[in-house]
């Protein structure tokens, strides 16, 4: 595992915990790919309880464009023309299985209602069609294709920054792909002539500031891995 040497030390850090870094990396990857992202709590009918949560519910509109940035969208996401793309993303520390709560068809339906892309009379059917894609045995190409309904597509995405592409056969966003794309988007040395990449890190907001700073100012001779990022944050060397 990429992070195995750092988890124990990082958990005691007064800065971001490693699971917070994982979630931030997933959100940053999706944001740079044109998605609006939000977390979601699935409310319970029982007072004081909830039925689970979704780490990131992400929506990308069909006419999104960032041409001035000079970066192609990641092939991993297999973005299709003409679709509003909805991703239900679960961020994992190691294992590549969806939590039990999101494998509940009622919870999937509630997430779809929150996204607001389907009329109520279609929500239950789309949720039922999406359910098999959450299974551990679901083929990667079938999961990445998702469920298509008119001009909308919904897909469940596992994100495991501690793994590399070769560690899993599932459709899973892994650390090497995350680092590759974020670096392509943020590295000042790779900026096109029409797009500057040096500006205040605080503009990215609290969740991303320290991570973006590392991508932009780290020494290029240093290891370029999730583990290296965790070690940097652990030391509190936020510059």
pLDDT tens string 8-43: 334 433 346 888 999 999 999 999 999 999 998 887
Residue 29, token pair as written in the block = 């990857």
- In the chain, the number of structural domains is 1
How large a percentage of the chain has pLDDT more than 70? 87
Residue 2 lies in a domain: no
Pairing of the two strands 152-160 and 172-174? parallel
Q: Please give the structure tokens belonging to residue 153.
A: 């597509």
Domain assignment present for residue 14? The answer is: yes
Q: Is residue 225 part of a domain?
A: yes
| 12-26, 75-89, 199-213, 215-229: segment of lowest average pLDDT | 12-26
Give per-residue burial for 180-203: e unless 16+ CB within 10 Å, then b.
ebbbebbeeeebeeeeebeeebee
169-201 per-position pLDDT tens digit: 999 999 999 999 999 998 877 777 776 666 777
CA pair distance 57, 225, nearest whole angstrom:
25
User: Looking at 70-84, 86-100, 118-132, 198-212, which range is the least confident one?
Assistant: 198-212
Residue 57 lies in a domain: yes
Residue 1 lies in a domain: no
DSSP state of 63: T
- Residue 200, in any domain of the structure: yes
Is 182 a member of any domain? yes
Segments forming the whole domain that contains residue 178: 7-234
Residue 142: burial class (beta carbons within 10 Å; 0-12, 13-18, 19+): exposed
Dist CA 204 CA 198 (whole Å): 12
H/E element, 177: helix 175-186
Region 81-110: mean pLDDT is: 92
Distance between CA atoms of 6 and 28, rounded to whole angstroms? 21
Asked if 138 contacts 70 with a C-beta cutoff of 8 angstroms, the reply is no
102 domain residue, yes or no: yes
């Amino acid at each position: 595992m990429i992070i195995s040497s750092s988890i124990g030390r990082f958990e005691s850090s007064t800065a971001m915990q490693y699971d917070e870094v994982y979630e931030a990396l997933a959100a940053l990857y999706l944001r740079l790919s044109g998605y609006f992202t939000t977390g979601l709590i699935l409310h319970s009918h029982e007072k004081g309880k909830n039925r689970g949560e979704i780490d990131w519910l992400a929506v990308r509109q069909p006419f999104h464009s960032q041409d001035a940035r000079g970066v192609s969208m990641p092939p991993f996401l297999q973005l299709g023309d003409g679709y509003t793309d909805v991703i239900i993303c679960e961020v994992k520390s190691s294992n590549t299985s969806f939590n039990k709560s999101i494998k509940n068809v009622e919870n999937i339906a509630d997430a779809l209602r929150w996204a607001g892309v389907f009329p109520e009379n279609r929500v239950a059917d789309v949720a039922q069609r999406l359910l098999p894609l959450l299974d551990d045995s679901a083929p990667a190409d079938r999961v990445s294709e998702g469920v298509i309904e008119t001009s909308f597509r919904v897909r469940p995405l596992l994100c495991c920054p501690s793994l590399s592409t070769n560690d899993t056969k599932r459709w899973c966003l892994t650390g090497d792909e995350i680092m590759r794309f974020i670096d392509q988007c943020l590295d000042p040395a790779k900026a096109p002539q029409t797009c500057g990449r040096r500006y205040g890190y605080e503009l990215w907001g609290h969740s991303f500031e320290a991570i973006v700073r590392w991508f932009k100012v780290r020494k290029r001779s240093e290891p370029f891995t999730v583990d290296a990022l965790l070690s940097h944050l652990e030391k509190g060397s936020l510059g």
